[in-house]
Chains A and B, each alone.
Chain A
Amino acid sequence: MAQPVSELVQPGRGRGIVDVYKHKFLLQLLVRKEIKIRYRGSVLGLLWSYVKPLMQFLIYFVALGVFLDMQKGTPNYAIYLFAGIVLVNFFTESLGNATRSIVDNRDLIRKIYLPRELFPVSTVWVSAAHLLPQVVVLVGACLLTGWSPSIWQLLAVIGAFFLTALLSIGLGLLFGAANVYFRDSENIVDMILMIVTWASPVLYVWPMVQRVMGPWFFLYQLNPVTVAVEIFHWAFWSPTLSPAQAGTISMPPDLLTVWFPSAFGVAALVLVIGQLVFMKLSVHFAQEL
């Protein structure tokens, strides 16, 4: 035969998340598919990606901002609130869907070998596609209130996005794989997602936590989602404040120098653990599903 002799390989042995990069085209198609079918048969379609977070925002704004009068101590509380909600939504949606992604794609996984990391990774990209319109609304609202960010703040937004995506993929691999064996995993994740909104300064401001936690405040800051939310506040909310207002607030100490890099460290560690567990468990996905 004329064709060159290719190497003998063992089928079904992946190299983890590296393989996803080799299947870029398939990843792209999977993401596009999810986006296309997400709101199939609905009248509002992609508009739901705006409506749902706006409703969530309104509930919190009325309950906390107006009834509990958070907006008195926090200037531009609406911007503060929405910036945090947008980021936490990205995280909760990515992680929730990534956790279900393996079980949801069981028909495919049981019949054809693909790098299974594709499924959790694609859900994170889908969530990113739904994050985009919300960020557009956020930017619009910021511009109306006189937003003038520095280049560093804009770069930090991108950094915070990647930080959150990295963490979502890591946790998504971990819980997505565990979910194949124990469907309890979905419920554990639902619980984590419930906590996340409150474990980061989305609805309140960080000095309130520091006052209570005192020397243990660093534990709070070790949460990468917390750091990402604070970065979003720094980039979107603080540049909308007038000089007088800006004098009354401050960002958490060492946010950019210590906590931002260490959050990447935590997220990277989670990703490594998630990948190792996923690799170990994914060998038996096809027979366990």
Chain B
Amino acid sequence: MSVPTAVSDSVAITCRNLRKKFVLRHTRSMKEAIVWLLTGRKGDLSKKFDALKDVSLDVEQGETVALLGLNGSGKSTLLKLISGVLQPDEGTVHTRGRVAGLIEVGAGFHHDLSGRDNVYLNGAILGMSQKQIDAMFDSIVEFAEIGEFIDTEVKFYSSGMYLKLAFSIAVHTDPEVFLIDEILAVGDEPFQRKCIVKINELAAAGKTLFVVSHDLDLVASVCKRGVLLEHGQIIMDGEVHAVVKELRRRSAE
């Protein structure tokens, strides 16, 4: 529980020796578990694998970091550990300031509520207060280009409108640290460009960005630092273009 000593005041995220095991549980019923206990715990009730092994990482405030790696390398797991959705099995994570995840935007949406209700619900889920949402509301609607549809139930939205609104709420939550997971592919091209402009604005405003994406050219244009994960370990950490090049070399092999 202790705060690591060797970190500066300007660090935004610090991970120390993170290890995350996943249990592939086979059984979901009490009967099987009791039988297993009674038969002397023969065999393993579950299978385990390490999603992350011994990951240490410091991110300074205002840094823009791209987390790269192939599928299953542990990127999303690391992001979830930083956001607090998951807890590490070993090691520690510390963050400074409010952290908001643009993780799978729209997770907090409810189809039967209007856009307006969803803005409030989702804003509150992402940690905004009523006052903040009131103040941001018009800006959120404008950015999402939803207009008059804001009082329509979101189940009638096109998938583009839905994502635009969700993204718009997320970028308006104004945290110190942004965790972004595969959401840059939102909406049509003009909206995508707008998102990238917005994200660059956030970076320019000194926000810490932590981005996961498979769109390598895009993350290279948004981020300065790259971290390459493979099988749950950091194998490279440096300037983003060099890391992207290394990832391309490795995936070509």
Contact = CB atoms under 8 A, between A and B. Distances in A.
A270 to B, nearest CB: 21
B124 A26 contact: yes
A12 B83 contact: yes
B interface bracket (residues with beta carbon within 8 Å of A)? 35 or more
Contacts of B57: none
Top 10 closest A-B pairs, CB basis? Answer: A12-B84, A11-B84, A113-B84, A26-B124, A8-B94, A111-B107, A184-B30, A286-B85, A37-B112, A283-B87
Given A12-B83, A12-B86, A287-B86, A112 B129 contact: no
Contact of A112 (B28, B33, B126, B176): B126
A2 to B, nearest CB: 9
5 contacts: A12-B83, A111-B107, A113-B83, A286-B80, A287-B86
Q: B23, B29, B62, B113: which has the most chain A beta carbons within 10 Å?
A: B113
A25 interface: yes
Interface string B1-43: 1010001011100100000001101001110010000000000
A35 to B, nearest CB: 11
Contacts of A284: 87
Interface stretch (B64-72, B95-103, B221-229): B95-103
Contacts of A107: 107
Contacts of A110: 85, 107
A254 interface: no
Contact of B28 (A30, A183, A287): A183
A15 interface: no
A5 B107 contact: no
Given A10-B1, A112-B107, A286-B80, A1 B62 contact: yes
A26 B125 contact: yes
Contacts of B86: 12, 286-287
Contacts of A5: 9-10, 96
A29 B28 contact: no
A5 B11 CA distance: 10
A33 B28 contact: no
Contacts of A19: none
Contacts of A25: 124, 129-130
B104 interface: yes
Contacts of A288: 25
B61 interface: yes
B239 interface: no
Interface in A172-221: 181-184
Q: A107, A108, A286, A287: which has the most chain B beta carbons within 10 Å?
A: A287
Given A33-B121, A37-B113, A287-B23, A9 B96 contact: yes
Contacts of A183: 28-29
Nearest to B107: A111
Contacts of A37: 110, 112-113
Interface of A: 1, 3, 5-13, 23, 25-26, 29-30, 33, 36-37, 40, 107-114, 181-184, 283-284, 286-288
A13 B120 CA distance: 24
B93 interface: yes
A220 B240 CA distance: 69
A36 B113 contact: yes
A72 B64 CA distance: 79
A37 B110 CA distance: 9
Given A1-B61, A25-B124, A37-B113, 13 more contacts: A1-B10, A1-B62, A3-B176, A10-B84, A10-B92, A11-B82, A11-B84, A12-B85, A23-B124, A30-B121, A112-B103, A112-B126, A287-B23
Contacts of A182: 28-30, 33
Given A111-B101, A286-B85, A10 B94 contact: yes
B25 A11 contact: no
Interface string B115-127: 0010011001110
A25 B103 CA distance: 22
B50 to A, nearest CB: 13
A251 to B, nearest CB: 41
A56 B221 CA distance: 65
B87 A8 contact: no
A29 B23 contact: no
Contact of A36 (B1, B3, B30, B112): B112
B84 A33 contact: no
Contacts of B101: 111-112
